[in-house]
C-alpha cells in the first residue's frame, strides 16, 4: 500500500514523497482541531465539572485553561507520537524526548532567559496590550498559590507544544527536508500565537528559529521546553501583584 501511495504522490508531486505529505496534512488538521476545539473558551461543561470536583477549586477560568492544556497534550503530542510510532516506527527518543547530552543547550537556554527577564519587565511596564493579556490566569495575579498551580499545569502544555513543533514537525520532516524543516516548523508556530500582543507574535518567528536551532543541536526538545516555560511563567510573574 505504501509503495502504491508513493507512486501516486511521485506522479502528482515529483520529489515530494508520501511521508512529508501525510505528516504535514496530519499536522495541519491537528492544528485546526486544536484551534477550534482546544481553546479555553471551548471547554465543555462535563470537563469543567469533573475538573472542579477533582481539584476542589471553584474557579471557572482555571478549569477552562486546563481544558486547553489537556487538548494540547492529546492533539499536539499523544496523537502525533502514536502516528509516528505506528506508521514509521519512530520512538519518542528519536523525536526529541532525550535528556542526555543536552547540558550545553540547557546552559544556553538559562542564559537567554536571564537576558530576557529585564526585557519582559520593561515591556510589561510600557505595554497596555501586555498588561491586558498577562497573567493568563487573572486570579493568579494576587495569589501565589494559584500562580504556582497554574504554572505547574502550564509546563505540561509547553511539553506538548515543543514536541509538536520541534519534535513532530522538525525532527519528523528533517528526515526528508533536512534543515528546511525549520521553515515548516516555524511558520505555523508563529501563526499559533495569533491573539497574543503584536510584539510577542512578531518575535515568535525569531523565537521559533532559535528553538529549532537549539533542538537540532541537542537532538532534544527539553531545552526548548525549559525556555518556553521560563519565559511564559516570567511574563505571568511580572504581571502579577502578589510579589510587589
CA gap 209, 93 in Å, rounded: 22
Which tens digits make up the pLDDT trace of 22-38? 999 999 999 999 999 99
Per-residue pLDDT of 178-234, as tens digits, reads 889 999 999 999 998 888 888 888 888 999 999 999 999 999 999 999 999 999 999
Q: Look at residue 173 in the predicted model and tell me its pLDDT.
A: 95
pLDDT above 90 covers a percentage of the chain that reads 76
Average of per-residue pLDDT values in the chain: 92
Q: What is the pLDDT of residue 144?
A: 95
* CA dihedral for 231, 36, 75, 25, sign (positive or negative): negative
pLDDT of 42 over the 90 cut: yes
* Domain definitions of the chain by residue range: 2-238
**Does residue 81 contact residue 92 with C-beta atoms inside 8 Å?**
yes
Task: Compute the distance between CA of residue 51 and CA of residue 63 in angstroms, rounded to an integer.
Answer: 6
- Specify the residue for cell string 488538521: 29
Query: Which of the pair, 80 or 10, is modelled with greater confidence?
Result: 80
Q: Is the pLDDT of residue 52 over 90?
A: yes
Are 173 and 185 contacting, i.e. CB atoms less than 8 angstroms apart?
yes
Determine the Cα–Cα distance for residues 149 and 50; give it in Å rounded to an integer.
17
Confidence at 3, pLDDT banded by 50, 70, 90: confident
**pLDDT number for residue 194:** 84
Q: What is the pTM of this model?
A: 0.92
- Tens digits of residue pLDDT in 92-113: 999 999 988 899 999 999 999 9
Statement: residue 15 has pLDDT above 90: no
What is the predicted pLDDT for the residue at 223? 96
Amino acid at each position: 500500500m505504501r509503495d502504491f501511495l508513493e507512486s501516486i504522490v511521485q506522479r502528482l508531486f515529483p520529489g515530494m514523497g508520501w511521508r512529508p505529505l501525510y505528516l504535514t496534512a496530519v499536522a495541519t488538521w491537528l492544528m485546526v482541531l486544536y484551534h477550534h476545539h482546544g481553546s479555553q473558551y471551548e471547554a465543555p461543561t462535563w470537563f469543567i465539572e469533573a475538573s472542579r470536583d477533582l481539584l476542589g477549586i471553584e474557579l471557572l477560568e482555571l478549569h477552562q485553561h486546563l481544558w486547553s492544556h489537556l487538548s494540547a497534550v492529546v492533539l499536539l503530542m499523544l496523537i502525533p507520537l502514536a502516528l509516528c510510532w505506528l506508521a514509521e516506527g519512530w520512538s519518542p527518543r528519536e523525536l526529541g524526548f532525550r535528556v542526555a547530552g543536552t547540558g550545553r543547550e540547557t546552559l544556553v537556554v538559562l542564559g537567554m532567559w536571564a537576558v530576557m527577564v529585564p526585557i519582559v519587565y520593561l515591556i510589561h511596564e510600557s505595554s497596555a496590550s501586555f498588561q491586558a493579556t498577562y497573567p493568563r490566569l487573572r486570579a493568579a495575579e494576587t495569589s501565589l498559590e494559584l500562580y504556582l498551580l497554574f504554572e505547574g499545569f502550564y509546563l505540561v502544555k509547553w511539553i506538548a507544544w515543543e514536541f509538536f513543533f520541534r519534535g513532530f514537525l522538525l525532527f519528523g520532516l528533517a528526515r526528508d527536508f533536512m534543515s528546511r524543516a525549520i521553515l515548516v516548523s516555524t511558520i505555523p508556530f508563529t501563526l499559533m500565537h495569533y491573539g497574543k500582543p503584536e510584539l510577542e507574535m512578531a518575535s515568535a518567528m525569531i523565537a521559533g528559529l532559535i528553538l529549532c536551532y537549539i533542538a537540532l543541536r541537542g537532538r532534544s526538545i527539553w531545552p526548548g521546553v525549559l525556555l518556553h516555560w521560563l519565559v511564559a511563567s516570567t511574563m505571568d510573574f511580572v504581571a502579577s501583584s502578589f510579589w510587589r
